[in-house]
Structure 1
Amino acid sequence: MPHTPDAFEDDGIDRVPAPKPVHYAEQALLGALLLEPARLADIKQLSADHFESHTHAALFTAIRTLPAPDPADHAKDTAWLNTVLDVARPHAPGLNASYLHALIQFCPRAAHAAAYARMIRADHARRLLRSHAERLGLTASDPGLPDPAATVLVLADDFSRLLDTLAGEFTPHPGSLPRTAVPAPAARQAGEEELDEEQLLLASATASPQDVQQMRWLTTDDFVLPLHAGIWQSITALVHRGDMVDPVTVLGEAQHRGLITEALTPKDLMALVSTPAGSPEHWGEQILRRALLARAQTVATRITAYTDDLSNTPHQLITGSRRALADLNTLRTRYRRATAPATTPAAHPPARAAPLPRAAGPPPLTAPAAPRAHR
């Protein structure tokens, strides 16, 4: 007979997600420590911050704080367990004696406490990397920050230092690259402000081609609109060849590059590069800044995908995150080159010592002889 769902049957809407593997590692470790408190000596690198569960962290803190009981006495009574419960309960009110005994029963082998601790530390590293990636992505997309690019670069430096620290805690192994399928970068939205900046750059560069020679830090990948990137290539090609640059010559170069179509007539292209305002460097920096923020969001998405894949080991997460940040650092190098203050000569060069006065004639070949004394 077909199954008829009951009116009160669980439909899965409010179903609690299944616990992650680290949940069972935490239970097994705490059970091992409650059974054999001396096992604390095997997990000195573990701290309460490494636990995902607040209740488990409070219980671990209580175990570590209290002196270990005498093994013989601990095997006969529950006095030490009661004390642990009393110390932990103010920080985790849901704790009770039955849960402590359940943890002891759940632990497969107390002698494996160090292995359980490694699993906990590994998952903590995963969560730590994910939180840093989320913060990086949110900062890069926050329009309310006064200087989001500077903040993003500071966070990237913090991220690199975190990776260096974690690299010293986990042993490398073969197959260090994640095999996670990373989502394709989100297409950048060509907003009105972005398009205006790119158009003003093209027009200003056509009017001031002498400034374009110093703008090698800007590439076609930094543009939102591919058409604008192609026109920028046309302008820079003329500049680097030493050819004359004006709207007509830019039109000729764009024609050779296949940019003239029914959607972009010669008149349209010439109008686009004929209304300069400001300097090319200014608009180039704006475009590069937006590209930097977009790259930071892509890197954050990539690292988050790595951390969401539970099959990745800590070493794979570290290696993959470093590769992702390297993509951001490549753009950071160009951004710093673009925004570096120009060096100016000193206003007052250091004074030089005055030259000694020259003699009126050539010096004598030999020194004059001293007069003889008369007797």
Structure 2
Amino acid sequence: MTTRTLRIAMNGITGRMGYRQHLLRSILPIREAGGVLLEDGTKVQVEPILVGRRADAVREIAEKHDIAEWTTDQDAVIDADDIDVYFDSQVTSRRYAALTRAMRNGKHIFTEKPTAETLEEAIQLARLRTETGVTAGVVHDKLYLPGLVKLRRLVDEGFFGRILSLRGEFGYWVFEGDHQSAQRPSWNYRKEDGGGMTTDMFCHWNYVLEGILGSVKSVVARTATHIPTRWDERGEAYDATADDAAYGIFEIAGPNGEEIIAQINSSWAVRVYRDELVEFQVDGTHGSAVAGLRKCVAQQRAHTPKPVWNPDLPVTEPFRDQWLEVPANDDLDNGFKLQWEEFLRDAVAGREHRYDLLSAARGVQLAEAGLASSAEGRRIELSPITL
């Protein structure tokens, strides 16, 4: 069997997402398995080169996982002729310049989102990909999760009939950092560093809504900074200048042309009373379903009970027991790893990845529109993006 090797510069692997999901659970398992099997029966192996700003941290990860090469010189590794793929999971404020340099050097790119701090920059990245012809992929991990795979299957099979609405709940309590350490880095709560719930999560919600239901046509949003003071990694208090919650209502053009109303609440200042940290409920004329990261339950029209509102009597109906679990009917691997494998096949074949920089630009557009809607107190319509 013929095997070729792709050398992948991985920038930002000292961060939680870059290390756990992209290095530990994606690239290293692919390397250990001998690479990714291609359509023609050959394999492509991966060779990570670690990139980061903190030498001690990058060296420690490299030694721990038997990775031969690492560097703190981002520009040098992007410019190197023997690098095939550049991956970026560093802070958003540094991403646009790095992705631009990589594509101009002929590197395929795979990146976290948002891809840029502004819509204009995100569109420029998409245009540059078209000009250079490289393969560019943007992480759309949630669409590969078992719960949403099942939900999408229900949509494709016409389970819902005419789809009416989607309701989403995301979030958990992120500790302030004074008495208990925070679960998220402090830059997430500083606007000047690219932080903020809307900037972070509306990019996700855009591709989730597109991938499950259809394109987003408008948004009404309200953002909030519920916790105004937090404590950083050194235990020092700082002002939270970015929003830690965002409440959005989205109009969607459905798969059969129907108008669907989606409502998604996102908060790092909420305590969880649900089965998973994120859940989406889709309601239609013929049935409903609730999907989390892994589980999906559904209720058909014929099996829908008829509750009667009576506040004078205690509720005795076991509402949760009236739903049936949707089977996976397949063994699904880690969502990040699955998308990495798909992207690598596309890069070797020299074709476009289905979740590209234009998709990412639409996510940035929705985030900007959400912030504008909250600031101006009005509904914002989204215009189609053209390159």
Please classify the TM superposition score into its range, dividing by the shorter chain length. Answer: under 0.3
Structure with the bigger percentage of helix: 1
TM-score, normalised on structure 1? 0.19
TM-score, normalised on structure 2? 0.19
Larger Rg, first or second structure (1 or 2) = 1
